[in-house]
A and B are shown apart, each in its own frame.
Chain A
């Protein structure tokens, strides 16, 4: 839901704000400030101490050659090392695969299922089937997929049972297959979320709009492309934005299924950062990875949202 924000600054500026009492009275001014402070401080203090300060510390640390015991200022050389490291290129490539893969699969499938099951009689059954994995915890999902994808796991077992033994693979042991099957695993879990959001979006389309389009002869695909898709736009912005931000930060499922391996083949930026920092104790280098990741996340959401906001000017969220 991160993505509703573009309209926010404007909204909060024009938001309800009781008129100031006429004339600046220093005492009431102080009292006002005290009240505001009391309401805002807990949230601001926690965010500052536990999120913003750690982030700034990380950014600062990325300028040091830091093994956890001794630290030496090295300027930008961690970043130079990073960009010349072939493992980093692989990690970046995997992260891009994740972003594209989770946009194509969970988001599109969620949209497709929402539209398809919206008016099918037993659509509720299908929706439940897709939503259950979403309610399962990430670690349960990862355990299940380890179990499915191991070399002697359920997928290979099934393939040989139906006479497709030749299709058997060591699913998690080769790149890029391991990244692709993990994206499929995430699809299985995450489609429920986008399905729900798209269903909510569909319910906000006035039925008169659909009826009018039907009377004008719009059918099937045409109805979908010309009427439903544009009307779903606000929700699509939310789902796509969430998908981009979350996929850039992909960590749990990869950590649980392959730990980034074999070697570093299936690492995403989040995993590279984690391994450099906590396994190899290269704190400065790990910090540089997380700063790059932050920049990528912020740039991606900004680029995406900026375009959306421009196209949606005048439309209230």
Chain B
């Protein structure tokens, strides 16, 4: 019994420890920027959240940043998952020579440190005119998220009984319609899981945002927020926190909506 109590106390302690910083983010995002004294507040004093959000949107174009990020995360995620699924279908279902070779060719993308790509990409983007364009950003996010989406889908497609594709082949169905009619619908859950992971990854990327884009029309919101926090003096922490809070809402919502789904889905593939 005492063990049970001790365990309860420990868990409660850890929860409180974890909630304190979260609490500070929320409270201080509510503090009016002009009333901010330099030391953080612990309790709500006034409903200043909306004016802070407005300040963040006005002074650093957080709104445009959010829109850019939404485009990159949504379009990049969908395209990457689609391309990755095609490749996963090829190496698992189609009669490919050396599927292992192709697997590693694609998968090595997750092992290489991201910083390795930066400088050549920067040069390449500058010479091809892709630097500081939305196309360029989508393109790199697609390439970066293909390997993991490929991995998830490949692991799923291996579990599809091969009798299905064999009988479809005997019926003379071509590969494309087999993919579209059989494997794509079957892989729906794996596709969704891969999409959510990739959406979140792109949403939170900072490195490629600050390296490959410059103008507010192209910069993702993480880069905008980084600029904003560099300007501490001019806008103040409450505005920065309010902006960060708004930028985090989509991933928090996405996460909680699909939390149960995540757990069940991982369970099938783990």
Contact = CB atoms under 8 A, between A and B. Distances in A.
Contacts of B7: 116, 120
B108 interface: yes
The A interface, classified by DSSP as helix, strand, loop or mixed, is: helix
A39 to B, nearest CB: 4
Interface in A36-74: 36, 39-40, 42-44, 46-47, 49-55, 57-58, 61
A143 B244 contact: yes
A2 B269 CA distance: 14
Interface in A188-209: 188, 191, 196-197, 199-201, 203-204
A248 B113 contact: yes
B39 A157 contact: yes
A2 B111 contact: yes
A290 B263 contact: no
Interface stretch (A9-17, A76-84, A162-170): A9-17
A53 B96 contact: no
Contacts of B114: 249, 251, 270
Contacts of A135: 248, 251-252, 254-256
Interface centre among A52, A139, A152, A283 (most CB of B within 10 A): A139
Contacts of B57: none
Interface string B76-104: 00000001101101111111100110111
Interface residues of B, number: 106
Contact of A129 (B19, B119, B262): B19
Given A15-B92, A44-B106, A137-B251, A200 B116 contact: no
A278 B123 CA distance: 11
Contacts of A18: 93, 95, 162, 165-166, 169
Contacts of A52: 108-109
Nearest to B123: A57
B120 A297 contact: no
Interface in A225-253: 234-235, 238, 245, 248-249, 251-252
B244 A40 contact: no
Contacts of B225: 139-140, 143
B1 interface: no
Contacts of A36: 90, 94-96
A14 B70 CA distance: 40
A43 B84 contact: yes
Give the secondary structure class of B's interface: helix
Interface in B255-270: 255-256, 259, 262-263, 266-267, 270
B119 A286 contact: yes
A282 to B, nearest CB: 11
B240 A143 contact: yes
Contacts of B252: 132, 135-136
A144 B137 CA distance: 27
Nearest to A134: B255
Contact of B248 (A44, A50, A136, A270): A136
Nearest to B256: A135
A123 interface: yes
A213 interface: no
Interface residues of A, number: 101
B136 to A, nearest CB: 10
Given A143-B229, A157-B39, A293 B175 contact: no
A43 B86 contact: yes
Given A16-B92, A133-B21, A148-B24, A290 B115 contact: yes
Contacts of A19: 166
B172 to A, nearest CB: 12
B51 interface: no
Given A40-B102, A46-B146, A53 B120 contact: yes
Contacts of A301: 111
Contact of A139 (B25, B92, B99, B222): B222
A147 B146 contact: no
Given A43-B86, A129-B19, A139-B247, A16 B104 contact: no
B147 interface: yes
A301 to B, nearest CB: 6
17 contacts: A12-B99, A15-B158, A17-B95, A18-B165, A40-B91, A43-B83, A43-B86, A43-B87, A135-B248, A136-B25, A139-B244, A143-B241, A249-B113, A249-B114, A290-B116, A291-B116, A297-B113
Interface of B: 3, 7-8, 10-12, 14-16, 18-19, 21-22, 24-25, 28, 38-40, 83-84, 86-87, 89-96, 99-100, 102-122, 124, 139-140, 142-144, 146-148, 150-152, 154-155, 158, 160-162, 165-166, 169, 174-176, 179, 203-204, 206-207, 211, 222, 225-226, 229, 237, 240-241, 244-245, 247-248, 251-252, 254-256, 259, 262-263, 266-267, 270
Interface of A: 1-2, 4-5, 8-9, 11-13, 15-20, 32, 35-36, 39-40, 42-44, 46-47, 49-55, 57-58, 61, 109, 113, 116-117, 120, 123, 125-126, 129-140, 142-148, 152-154, 157, 188, 191, 196-197, 199-201, 203-204, 220, 234-235, 238, 245, 248-249, 251-252, 255-256, 270, 273-274, 277-278, 283, 286-287, 290-291, 293-294, 297-298, 301
